[in-house]
Amino acid sequence: MKYIRQFGIILVITFVGELLKAFLPLPIPASIYGLLLMLGLLITKIVPLEQVKEAGDFLIEIMPLMFIPAAAGILLSWNTMKEILIPLILITVITTILVMAATGKATELILNLGSAKSKETEDICHEESTM
């Protein structure tokens, strides 16, 4: 029963996400509205973590399976794709690698700046206390 209840809560939040998508004129899918809503409900503790945790973890665990049907759908667009297949593959490979590197490096750069700064203030405090 616990899992049914948890799954029920998740589906209700997903449904509200669909409603938001239907009423708001933004190009944002139901899943993103639902994710933000779930986050808000967890933060405000209106939905406590224990009420969705197990069912949520299960859904996340089997998530890879959910991509298989859409991926196999490449069969359908194959004829349109094959004319530009080589550039398409090159663009996918190059962009994916560059985006990964740029995101990771930029994040580390700002993180290091931040930690260097906080270390500096720590040092100043330390010097002052020793003086």
Partner 1 sequence: MKNLLCNSLFFGVAISIIGYEIGLSLKRKFKWSILNPLLISIIIVIASLLVLKVDYDSYYSGAKYLSYLLTPATVCLAIPLYQQLELLKSNWKAIIAGITAGVITSLTTVLILCFIFHFNHAQYVTLLPKSITTAIGMGISEELGGIVTITVAVIIITGVFGNIIGEFVLRIFVIENKIAKGLALGTASHAIGTVKAMELGEIEGAMSSLAIVVSGLLTVIGASIFCNFL
Helix extents (H) in 24-84: 30-43, 53-61, 63-72, 74-81
Q: What is the dihedral of CA 30, 33, 36, 39, to 10 degrees?
A: -60
**Of the two residues 80 and 130, which places its CB atom closer to partner 1 in the complex?**
80
Taking the complex as a whole, the smallest distance from the CB of residue 124 to partner 1 amounts, in Å, to 20
CA 108 to chain centre: 19
Q: Give the per-residue contact string, 65-104, with partner 1 (x = CB under 8 A; - = no).
A: xxxxxxxxxxxxx--xx--x--xxxxxxxxxxxxxxxxxx
Taking the complex as a whole, the smallest distance from the CB of residue 117 to partner 1 amounts, in Å, to 11
**Of the two residues 4 and 66, which places its CB atom closer to partner 1 in the complex?**
66
Quick one: tokens of 93?
């490979």
Taking the complex as a whole, the smallest distance from the CB of residue 61 to partner 1 amounts, in Å, to 8
15/125 Cα distance (integer angstroms): 52
119/123 Cα distance (integer angstroms): 6
**Of the two residues 22 and 49, which places its CB atom closer to partner 1 in the complex?**
49
**Of the two residues 65 and 131, which places its CB atom closer to partner 1 in the complex?**
65
Which residue in this structure is represented by tokens 């859409």? 70
Give the total of residues touching partner 1 (CB under 8 A). Answer: 74
Q: Give the per-residue contact string, 35-64, with partner 1 (x = CB under 8 A; - = no).
A: xxxxx--xx-----x--xx-xxx-xx-xxx
